[in-house]
């Protein structure tokens, strides 16, 4: 059964690695619903957050292929309910519409959105939330004509108390130490 | 030059200023490289210039096409166990390597390919002979990297060799811009021993090991499948000890051939679409299936929905991504085959599975009567591929390195060549690359100069890389080439006969006069078409001190059996077209 999975991969910050990771999906004809890459809490280590709608078996296979890449430290996969996640959306609406009625203002309050910039021509509104939430605000605002709209890729964090990567790096250090001791 | 050499010899730790090109060559020498297959061109000229001074340390083999260089590097790696190395220039030189790199990737062959690249300032400008070889090779390399500054060279080479040769081996490509080749650096070489994000092999999980041993000890009909992992980890002896202690019959994948002597009483032969009858059908009768260093390729499993469903599967494998990829396992042991087998052998009990082994032998007898006798002792006029292969193997006492191309010639060689030495079988498995054979044979000869190297190649495949006869001629390389000529693209024709109502769509192929062609290259050659001439001709070929080409005209429309039709179950292993 297909469902949404969040794949998180930690890697060295190297040129070309994004390409190496995305071709793993392309080759299996799996569509990436959203993708975010940024530096993790550990300096020099990048974190990929990739959302796919797929069968579990395929996701497991993809995660293993990601981990097989030389510069990838570790990859995980989670279902949505195992993670806390957010997306951010920006909406540009005509300022005129804001002036003519209080409906947009009410919508902003109701959706916990905020205004980032107002000019004579347009107003930029920001909203964070799940896709359904940012979409709901879009549908509301679009009655007045949304001039531009953009939604970010997903960012996500696990519900466990510690960053799993630091735990993992500690394990790996001891693994290397053990293996090197064996060689000596 | 001499003073610098002495300086390097006397104080290897001390950094010395030199060009990136020289550092490149010195790094290769430091990695123990003694042979490079390559083809020069504009963007790699500085490296070739540096190589000019290293003739004493490194043999460079000039091929006739870059595909020849990469296949030769593969052949060299497969027989020697060392990393194969090839050079090519930017643009077309680099793109011509891709087939061989893909072949090495799917067949886990350790090679390092070094390509020249346009000057870094020109990257991305569509400069002359610029191609994005990093992008192009990404899906088919274990690792690749573009060097744009000379300082990076020693570390990049060290990493390349470490990655190519450890864990599950594979191809690495380094792309070096021309300015990095010219620029100076302070050279000091240090081998790579660790990369934080890369674990070549995991330590053995003792619990899994124990679980596997328990399964094996309680099995009534255990069966062992081995692949190239045995050869790659040097576990030939460990495999033999394990099966001899447990009495378990074993069969190899196409790439596992030569890891266990052909005439070992527990070697049941080869698995797969054109493998032996017993190894295939017994897969669906065993109760415990032990798979070592193999990846359950679809040519081995047939339909996975009906593959070994009755058996508990133990998978011993170095690559975590292979576990449960195709076949679900009961117990998976991650790690190197040699180490794992050594540990596992101490935990298993001594057994003999005489009745079970006899079942294999009975099934073998069936294949013997329906297929093998016809292939090896034909009563018809035309020569068979099987009799040609078996004769060569008899005349060399099973000691030759056998190289093949792809298709019927490959399957006949896999079925009828016999082996007493490991790493004496070179073939293109996963990718099935026609044109692989001739250049791979060149590499195999450089990798094992003391052994006889015999290539079996079809009339189709040889014409894909026939230009490498020039390389053989230039090197006076004693490679023995046997062309099995049936005037057809034989394997495709066989499928057309069996599955496309004999509609021979574009599989008839004409060939040049191979003897005249060889003669043009100065390579001695002969052609035989009658049985009585075969043995003397083969003896003359083997006796030849230099290269030799023997064309054998064989029966035109022979088929390779047994055969498991594509997508069928392994139990449906056909012994002849009458069973279709």
Domain annotation covers residue A59? yes
Do B180 and B210 belong together in one domain? no
* pLDDT value of residue A40: 87
Do B355 and B387 belong together in one domain? no
- Spatial CB neighbours of B196, under 8 Å, sequence gap ≥ 6: A12, A73, A172
Window 161-220 of B: residues touching A by CB (8 A cutoff) are: 163, 193-199, 202-203
- Minimum distance, in Å, between the CA of residue A140 and any CA atom of chain B: 43
Nearest to B138 among A12, A20, A68 (CB): A20
CA–CA gap between residue B52 and residue B60 (Å, rounded): 10
Residue A41: which of A158, A184, A124, A179 has the closest Cα? A158
Do B339 and B408 belong together in one domain? no
B385-422 pLDDT tens trace: 999 999 999 999 999 999 999 999 999 999 999 999 99
How many structural domains is chain A composed of? Answer: 1
**If you search the block for the tokens 């390195």, which residue do you land on?**
B401
B193, B165 Cβ separation under 8 angstroms: no
| Contact list, A61 vs chain B (CB under 8 Å) | 321, 325
Domain annotation covers residue B372? no
Averaged pLDDT, B310-320:
98
For the question of residue B245 being annotated catalytic, the response is no
For the question of residue B182 being annotated catalytic, the response is no
| Contact list, A70 vs chain B (CB under 8 Å) | 142-143, 163, 195, 197-198
Domain annotation covers residue A97? no
Q: What is the CATH number of the domain that holds B520?
A: 3.40.50.970
* pLDDT value of residue A76: 92
B184-228 pLDDT tens trace: 999 999 999 999 999 999 999 999 999 999 999 999 999 999 999
C-alpha distances in Å from residue B246, one per residue of B221, B234, B332: 11, 20, 19
CB atoms B134 and A16 under 8 Å: yes
pTM for the whole thing?
0.95
Do B402 and B549 belong together in one domain? yes
B512-525 pLDDT tens trace: 999 999 999 999 99
Q: Is residue B96 very low, low, confident or very high in pLDDT (cuts 50, 70, 90)?
A: very high
For strand B184-187 and strand B171-177, is the pairing parallel, antiparallel, or unpaired?
A: unpaired
| Contact list, A27 vs chain B (CB under 8 Å) | 139
Do B285 and B330 belong together in one domain? yes
Spans of chain A below 70 pLDDT: 162-163, 182-184
Domain annotation covers residue B368? no
* Candidates A62, A70, A178, partner chain B, best to mutate (most B CBs within 10 A): A70
Higher pLDDT, A181 or B435: B435
* pLDDT value of residue B10: 45
CB atoms B139 and A64 under 8 Å: no
Do B176 and B240 belong together in one domain? no
3-state class of A182 per DSSP? helix
* pLDDT value of residue A181: 76
Do B99 and B214 belong together in one domain? no
* pLDDT value of residue A182: 67
* pLDDT value of residue B11: 46
Domain annotation covers residue B247? yes
CB-defined contacts A:B, below 8 A: 47
Q: What is the CATH number of the domain that holds B261?
A: 3.40.50.1220
**If you search the block for the tokens 């990393």, which residue do you land on?**
B83
Domain annotation covers residue A93? no
Do B182 and B210 belong together in one domain? no
Domain annotation covers residue B200? no
Domain annotation covers residue B139? yes
User: Please, what is the average pLDDT of chain B?
Assistant: 96
B254-264 pLDDT tens trace: 999 999 999 99
- Spatial CB neighbours of A77, under 8 Å, sequence gap ≥ 6: A5, A6, A7, A8, A59, A60, A63
Do B170 and B108 belong together in one domain? yes
For the question of residue B129 being annotated catalytic, the response is yes
pLDDT at B13 over 70: no
Do B224 and B262 belong together in one domain? yes
Domain annotation covers residue B70? yes
Q: Is residue B1 very low, low, confident or very high in pLDDT (cuts 50, 70, 90)?
A: very low
Domain annotation covers residue A114? no
> How many other C-beta atoms can be found within 10 angstroms of the C-beta atom of residue B386?
25
B16-47 pLDDT tens trace: 999 999 999 999 999 999 999 999 999 999 99
Nearest to B199 among A23, A175, A180 (CB): A175
For B321, nearest residue in chain A (alpha carbons): A64
Domain annotation covers residue B366? no
- Spatial CB neighbours of A144, under 8 Å, sequence gap ≥ 6: A93, A94, A97, A103, A104
Angle at B483 between CA B261 and CA B558, to 5 degrees: 80
For the question of residue B270 being annotated catalytic, the response is no
For the question of residue B561 being annotated catalytic, the response is no
Do B220 and B343 belong together in one domain? yes
Residue B306 sits in which domain range? 206-359
* pLDDT value of residue B2: 47
Spot the catalytic one: B18, B270, B491, B563.
Answer: B491
Domain annotation covers residue B369? no
Domain annotation covers residue A80? yes
* 3-class secondary structure per residue, A72-121: EEEEEEEEHHHEEEEEEEEEEEEHHHHHHCCHHHHHHHHCCCEEEEECCC
Higher pLDDT, A172 or B501: B501
Spot the catalytic one: B4, B14, B17, B128.
Answer: B128
Residue A34 sits in which domain range? 2-84
The token pair that represents A183 in the structure block: 């060689």
Window 17-56 of A: residues touching B by CB (8 A cutoff) are: 19-20, 23, 27
Q: What is the CATH number of the domain that holds A53?
A: 3.30.70.260
- DSSP structural state of residue B370: I
Averaged pLDDT, B438-456:
98
Do B343 and B265 belong together in one domain? yes
How many structural domains is chain B composed of? Answer: 3
């Amino acid at each position: 059964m297909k469902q949404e999975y969040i794949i998180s991969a930690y890697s060295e910050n190297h040129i070309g690695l994004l390409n190496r990771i995305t071709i793993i999906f392309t080759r299996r004809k799996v569509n990436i619903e959203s993708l975010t890459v940024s530096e993790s809490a550990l300096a020099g280590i990048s974190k990929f957050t990739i959302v796919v709608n797929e069968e579990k078996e395929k996701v497991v296979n993809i995660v293993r292929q990601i981990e097989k890449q030389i510069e990838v430290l570790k990859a995980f996969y989670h279902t949505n309910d195992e993670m806390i996640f957010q997306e951010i959306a920006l909406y540009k609406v005509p300022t005129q519409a804001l002036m003519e009625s209080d409906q947009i203002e009410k919508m902003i309050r109701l959706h916990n959105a905020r205004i980032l910039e107002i000019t004579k021509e347009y107003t930029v509104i920001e909203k964070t939330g799940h896709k359904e939430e940012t979409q709901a605000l879009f549908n509301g605002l679009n009655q007045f004509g949304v001039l531009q709209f953009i939604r970010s890729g997903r960012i996500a964090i696990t519900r466990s108390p510690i960053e799993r990567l630091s735990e993992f790096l500690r394990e790996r250090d001891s693994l290397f130490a053990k293996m090197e001791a064996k060689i000596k | 030059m001499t003073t610098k050499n002495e300086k390097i010899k006397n104080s290897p730790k001390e950094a010395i200023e030199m060009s990136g090109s020289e550092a490149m060559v010195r790094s290769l020498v430091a990695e123990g490289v003694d042979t490079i297959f390559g083809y020069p061109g504009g963007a790699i000229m500085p490296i070739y210039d540096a190589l000019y001074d290293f003739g004493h340390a490194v043999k460079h083999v000039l091929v006739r096409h870059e595909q020849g260089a990469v296949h030769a590097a593969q052949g060299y790696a497969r027989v020697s166990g060392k990393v194969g190395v090839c050079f090519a220039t930017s643009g077309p030189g680099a793109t011509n390597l891709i087939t061989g790199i893909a072949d090495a990737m799917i067949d886990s062959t350790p090679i390092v390919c070094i390509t020249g690249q346009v000057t870094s300032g020109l990257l991305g400008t569509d400069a002359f002979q610029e191609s994005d070889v990093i992008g192009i090779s990404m899906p088919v390399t274990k690792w690749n990297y573009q060097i744009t500054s000379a300082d990076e060279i020693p570390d990049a080479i060290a990493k390349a060799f470490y990655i190519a040769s450890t864990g599950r081996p594979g191809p690495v490509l380094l792309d070096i811009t021309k300015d990095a080749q010219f620029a100076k650096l302070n050279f000091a070489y240090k081998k790579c021993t660790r990369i934080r994000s890369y674990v070549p092999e995991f330590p053995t999980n003792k619990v899994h090991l124990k679980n596997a041993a328990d399964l094996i000890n309680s099995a009534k009909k255990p069966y062992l499948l081995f692949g190239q992992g045995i050869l790659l980890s040097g576990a030939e002896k460990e495999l033999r000890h394990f099966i001899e202690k447990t009495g378990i019959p074993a069969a190899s994948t196409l790439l596992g051939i030569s890891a266990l002597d052909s005439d070992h009483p527990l070697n049941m032969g080869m698995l797969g679409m054109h493998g032996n009858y017993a190894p295939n059908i017994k897969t669906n009768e065993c109760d415990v299936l032990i798979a070592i260093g193999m990846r359950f390729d679809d040519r081995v499993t047939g339909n996975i929905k009906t593959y070994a469903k009755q058996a508990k599967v133990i998978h011993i494998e170095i690559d975590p991504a292979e576990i449960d990829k195709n076949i679900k396992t009961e117990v998976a042991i991650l790690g190197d085959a040699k180490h794992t087998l050594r540990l596992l052998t101490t935990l298993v009990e001594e057994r003999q599975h005489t009745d079970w082994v006899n079942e294999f032998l009975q099934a073998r007898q069936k294949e013997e009567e329906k297929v093998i006798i016809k292939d090896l002792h034909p009563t018809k006029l035309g020569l068979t591929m099987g009799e040609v292969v078996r004769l060569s193997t008899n005349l060399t006492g099973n000691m030759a390195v056998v190289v093949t191309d792809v298709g019927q010639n490959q399957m006949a060689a896999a079925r009828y060549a016999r082996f007493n030495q490991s790493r004496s079988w070179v073939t293109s498995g996963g990718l099935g690359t026609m044109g692989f054979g001739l250049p791979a044979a060149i590499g195999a000869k450089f990798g094992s100069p003391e052994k006889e190297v015999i290539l079996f190649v079809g009339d189709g495949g040889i014409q894909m890389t026939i230009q490498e006869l020039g390389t053989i001629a230039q090197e006076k390389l004693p490679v023995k080439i046997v062309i099995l000529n049936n005037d057809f693209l034989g394997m495709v024709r066989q499928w057309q006969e069996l599955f496309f109502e004999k509609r021979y769509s574009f599989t008839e192929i004409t060939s040049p006069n191979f003897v005249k062609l060889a003669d043009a290259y100065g390579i001695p050659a002969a052609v035989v078409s009658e049985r009585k001439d075969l043995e003397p001709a083969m003896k003359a070929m083997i006796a030849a001190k230099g290269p030799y080409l023997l064309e054998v005209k064989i029966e035109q429309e022979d088929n390779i059996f047994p055969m498991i039709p594509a997508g069928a179950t392994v139990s449906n292993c056909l012994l002849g077209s009458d069973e279709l």
